[in-house]
Amino acid sequence: MTQPTTQSLAVLATEQSDPRFSGIDTLPTEEIARLMNTADAAVPAAVGRAVPEISAAIDAIAARMADGGRLLYVGAGTSGRLAVLDASECPPTFGTHPDLVQGIIAGGEAALVRSVEGAEDDAEAGAAVIRAKAVGPLDSVVGISASGRAPYVVAAVEQARRLGALTVGVACNTGTPLARAADHAIEAVVGPEVVTGSTRLKAGTAQKLVLNMISTITMIRSGRTYGNYMVDVVASNSKLVDRAARIVSDITGTRVPRAREVLEDAGRDVKTAVVMIERGVGADDARALLAAHGNRLGPALRGA
C-alpha cells in the first residue's frame, strides 16, 4: 500500500494549526485550561453530525453479532489504545466472552504503554492480524484512525472486507482512504487541535465517544441491558456486588438486603435473581426460563 506523503497529510483538518492557540505557551495555566475546555466543547457536536452513519453501522454490527459474529476494533497509537480500552470494558460491564469484542493495536500489547515506532505504517501487519484472527463473514471490523490514513488500519479494513466481514471506518477527516475502504464511513470532523497535530486531544475524545456508542448500543440491541440497567454485569468485587443488588432491588421493588440474598442464591447473576423474584421460581427454573427466551430478561419476565 502506498503510504501517505507529507504533502497529503498537511491538508488534513487534524494537522492544521489554529491561530486561536498560537500563544498558549505564554498564557497562565487557568487560561490555557479554559481554552482547552472551550475547544473540547465542540467535540460532541462533531460526533452528533455523524450520528446517522454511526447508527447505521451499529445496526449492521448488531445484526451480525446476533448470528454469532464478533466485533473487532483495529487502531494505531491513541486510536489503538482507545480500541483496546473500549473492548476490555465489555466483559465486566456486559458479561461478554473476551473474544466477542476485541481491541487490536498496531505493534501489539507493548504499544499500549510505549510507542512502537513505525507500527502504524506496516500495512502487511494490518492485513496479517485480520487473517490471524480468522475473520469471516459474520464478523465486524471497525478501523479507527484520526487521520483516516494509517496504513496498518486501512490494510486491516481492506483485508476484512475481502474476507466478507462488515467493515467500519472511524476518522476525524473527510474523504480518507479509511472511509473508502470501509462499508460504513464515520467521520467526526473536530478540526485543528490546541497543540497542532496532537490528535490524542479532540480527535481522541471524539473517537472515544463514537466507540462508546458502538459498543454500548450493540450490547443494548443484544439484550444485555434491561431498561438502562446493566443486567449482565459481572459482580466480581464488592462494589459490583453492591451495584448488582441495587439493580435487582430497583427492578423488582425488593428491599436491598433481600435482593442481595437472592442474588447470592442466583450465583450473583442479576437476570436470574430478577426472574426468581418476579416469577416466584428457584434459580434453576429461572435460568431455564431465561434460556428459553434467548437470555433476554424482558421476554423472560413477560413470557409464559
Catalytic (active site) residue 278: no
Per the residue annotation, which of 31, 53, 117, 120 is the catalytic one?
120
What pLDDT, on a 0 to 100 scale, did the predictor assign at position 2? Answer: 42
Please identify every stretch of the chain with a pLDDT value under 70, giving residue numbers as ranges.
1-8, 304
Tell me how many degrees the CA angle 139-176-35 measures, rounded to the nearest 5: 105
Joined together, the cell numbers standing for residue 275 give 426472574
**Percent of the chain with pLDDT strictly greater than 70:** 97
What pLDDT, on a 0 to 100 scale, did the predictor assign at position 292? Answer: 95
> Distance between CA atoms of 104 and 131, rounded to whole angstroms?
13
What pLDDT, on a 0 to 100 scale, did the predictor assign at position 304? Answer: 57
Per the residue annotation, which of 15, 30, 31, 89 is the catalytic one?
89
Catalytic (active site) residue 30: no
**pTM, two decimal places:** 0.91
